[in-house]
A and B are shown apart, each in its own frame.
Chain A
Amino acid sequence: MNVIELENVKKDYPLGATTVHALRGVDLAIREGDFISIVGPSGSGKTTLLNIIGCIDEATEGSVKIHGNEVTTHSDRRLTDLRLHTIGFIFQTFNLIPVLNARENVEFPLLLMKKENLSNKEIRRRAEKLLEEVGLKEQMRQKPFELSGGQRQRVAIARALVTKPAIVLADEPTANLDSETGEMILTIMKELNVIEKTTFVFSTHDPDILKYANGVLKIKDGLMVS
């Protein structure tokens, strides 16, 4: 079953008097449990593609389906709920909530999920478990400004995984990590992929992490080339 389907997706950005064609008609189908890597040079449209799949950006043209549902017509509220319950997003250099410590940042999406009826104790247990898995047991109470770039990225990864989303999108997830930590993160992701059947789509420049992927999509100038 395809969890992600894109059909003739185009994305144009106005840039001064001209228009940038970031995506020129992308067709894509990703099945449940896939571990897909998107590769391509800078400016090829990797981030734009992930943003559109992650319901963070809107396609100028074309169809985007998540679990078979067309999302281009969804309201802002439905898209937000979709991001909360179905999609985990790991940003390249995206910040954490500065006033919350590492554990509270990971707890944040769970606290937004009121209908899950999770107890505060369960929320804390899940957050702490994930932080332990990404090697931040000792830094749980530290605020983002007290963490290194790599540690922040690991907190962001734990936050993306804590809701056990069906799809995890990651934009250069290991770009700010040393190779050892990067390996560790990818191992966690792979485990989740295997055990929970979580679908992973990530962009990367790092050829070393391609070995984890069971599929590689190449993008160039806004078009899928393979």
Chain B
Amino acid sequence: MLVFKIAWRNILRHKGKSIIIGSILFLGALIMTLGNATAIGMQKGVEENIVRGFTGHLVLVSDQETKDNVLFTPMAKPLKILRDYEKLSAVLQQQDYVKDFIPMTRGGVAILGGSGMNFLLTFGCNFDDFQRVFGSPIVAVEGELLRNGDRGLLINDKGRKNLHKMEGYWLIPAGQELVRDNLSQEAKSELPGLPVKSSLAVEGFGEPNSTNMTLPVKAIMRFKSLNNLMQQLAIMDIESFRQVFGYYTAADVVEELPPEQERLLAAGEEDLFGSADIFASGSSSTVAELEKTIRRKAQAVGKINYDNAAYNYVSVLLHPGEDLAGAVERTRKLMKDNGLPVKVLSWKQASGQVAQISDILRIIINVFVILLFFVAIIIIMNTLSMTALERTEEFGMMRAVGARKGFITRMFLAETLSLSALFGGAGLLVGALVAWIIQPLGITAGESEILELLFGGEVFRPTLGFGGVALGVVSLGVVTVLAVLYPLVVARRITPLDAINRH
């Protein structure tokens, strides 16, 4: 009580210094609060747009994968086939922390014809499931999205513009008219002679069994968020993807055989060399040809050791509030306990540079805030040290009449902490108010890819929850304590004799 009485009266007595220190604390707390709101807003943006819109929280790949960065690698090296998907699916369905999951494929496809230098980072999936799991993150700009087992490609609208620059043709969805309003400036200038295509001849890149095929462009699409970031991404129906990359087993080939060839396979020796009429009229196949085909296919895909369906990875979405690191560990244990040859990655690991750039930008902001605090600490420390020396007579006299060093410590701390609580608290409040006002309005990234990545979406909304405020209070406390440490040492060293000598 006595300590605070003296502290408050001293604050009022030394108004000039109090205002200087208070202003620094106010500005520091304000900028820190806005910095926290920005960092949390970014994190939320990334969480909502990248994690909940495309990657999922966890990415499960084959344990044969040596690298973690599996999703967005340029010139995408093919991923290993994920084995035992059926069992993996059954295991995941039983987990209460898993909200949903979707199996996917990913690979680079070369666009044939033209320059031959263009690739699309292509993701294969059952698109209906994709939209359901990720909350429809993709919308059609032209044409219609893949539905009910449609075969074809979804090309990003930004990717289409890039392709036009490189190859000279303008893609439109099959069966659709050219939409002049959607043309790029360059494309418009080429009218009316602009070459238009509605399909792409593609070939899986990097797989020995890959084949080429021509696929219709079903839609020109865009991601609702982070479209700039995703502009080189294309979506392909899962069956076409498997064909392009040769993800077929002998069993799959058999399943695709015409009925007369299936009968041949099903026939026993007696039937083959007996009198049974197993050849349908008009069939040109022979047993030798069929066996040859099967052997070739089986040999070709023999290296791909998978058990049932062919997928490269599974995106797993967690329930809100689940701890990511904890979920990674739980899932790893789950895979091990069930003997599943699966490598469990967090979305950050799987996203590689995409997540890293976002992290780096956030680190830059945090470093800026830390630097600001460092400067604030130095200024406050210097001012408080001067104050302590100026008050040598007061402190020395207190010590002379029986005040222990602990009393001086408490009094000095009370003064600084009161200033910190008053001015720093005001900075926190104003920062929170600014964040609260900006939050519903949002700040748009415009065409800037860096800003979009930084914001974790096209619109940035600073967010400051209880955690952000708590972080601000803790940071302010740390700054205050660090700033007061040296001046406190100075104040504690003052002896009654110093006071007498000063006088």
Contact = CB atoms under 8 A, between A and B. Distances in A.
Asked if A and B are interacting partners, one says yes
Interface in A84-109: 84-85, 89, 91, 93-100, 104, 108-109
Given A57-B497, A93-B503, A99-B9, A108 B401 contact: yes
B401 A159 contact: yes
B402 A85 contact: yes
A77 B13 CA distance: 30
Chain B interface main SS type: helix
B497 A94 contact: no
Nearest to B495: A56
Contacts of B6: 97, 99-100
A218 interface: no
A111 interface: yes
Contacts, number: 74
Interface in A159-185: 159-160, 163
B10 A94 contact: no
Contacts of A91: 397, 400, 500
Interface residues on B, range: 20 to 34
Nearest to B14: A99
Contacts of A57: 497
Most buried by B among A93, A99, A109: A99
Given A95-B394, A97-B394, A83 B401 contact: yes
Interface residues on A, range: 20 to 34
B398 interface: yes
Interface string A37-79: 0000000000100010010110000000000000000001100
A83 to B, nearest CB: 5
B500 A94 contact: yes
A97 B397 CA distance: 8
A81 interface: yes
Interface string B384-409: 00000000011001111111110100
Given A77-B404, A89-B400, A112-B407, A99 B503 contact: no
Given A51-B500, A93-B503, A94-B500, A84 B402 contact: yes
Interface of A: 47, 51, 54, 56-57, 76-77, 80-81, 83-85, 89, 91, 93-100, 104, 108-109, 111-113, 159-160, 163
Given A95-B499, A99-B9, 7 more contacts: A76-B405, A83-B400, A94-B400, A94-B499, A112-B403, A112-B407, A113-B402
Interface of B: 2, 5-6, 9-10, 13, 393-394, 397-405, 407, 495-497, 499-500, 503
